[in-house]
Structure 1
Amino acid sequence: MINYITLGTKDIEASAQFYEKLLEDFGAKRLVNMDRIKYIGKNMKEPMVAVCIPYDEQDPRPGNGNMFAIAPGSKEKVDVMYEKAISLGATCDGKPGQRVPKLFYGAYVRDLDGNKICFNFFG
């Protein structure tokens, strides 16, 4: 259903490298490499992350309440993704933990530009 999400960035190359490294264990790589936008994913038919210089060239601003979630497949992998993101320069916005008993385990970070990411496991 979702083709891609677009995140504005001040430093397109640093942002593209962050998402390439963060998502490499899912088989993601840079698929499109234009000056203003870069797409990172497994292929063009599965969900991708796009990073771009905003069209109006103003400083990008993360949306209030906007977030995207990545489901790596287990609680242990949520922890791994959280630690990997932090090691790549993300900031903590909620350490890994059980949020809803027996239902939702999650961890939250902000990327290099302040966009919010959730790593989660349902079950």
Structure 2
Amino acid sequence: MFTHVMIGSNDLDRARSFYDATFVALGGKPGVMDPRGRLIYDHEGGRLMITKPIDGKLATAANGGTIGIAAVSREHVLAWHQAGTAHGGTANESPPTERPNGSFVAYLRDPDGNKLTVRTQATE
């Protein structure tokens, strides 16, 4: 069901030190910084991403955090976005869109403000 979890950090070097150590302790690999400045950990089919919040504010337990959910098609992404906005969610970040890697994504905040994304698989 879930594709990834993204959390915010005010100090990516400190975060990298902690997560590199903890993932290696689990048999995983150190994180990789992507071109957008996000620290990425892939482990046993799951992905944790750590970033500075894109809104420029300090990271808190929820600011910078995103819960990612898998979708099987572009139509499902659009239907999720429409249903969410019809039931108290707020569209944020951008309209549903295709990303450079070929995935199709939509973002919402739930009625409590939690940031969610639904996306199809990347084509790369």
Shorter-normalised TM range: 0.3 to 0.5
More strand by share: 1
> Rg bigger for which structure?
2
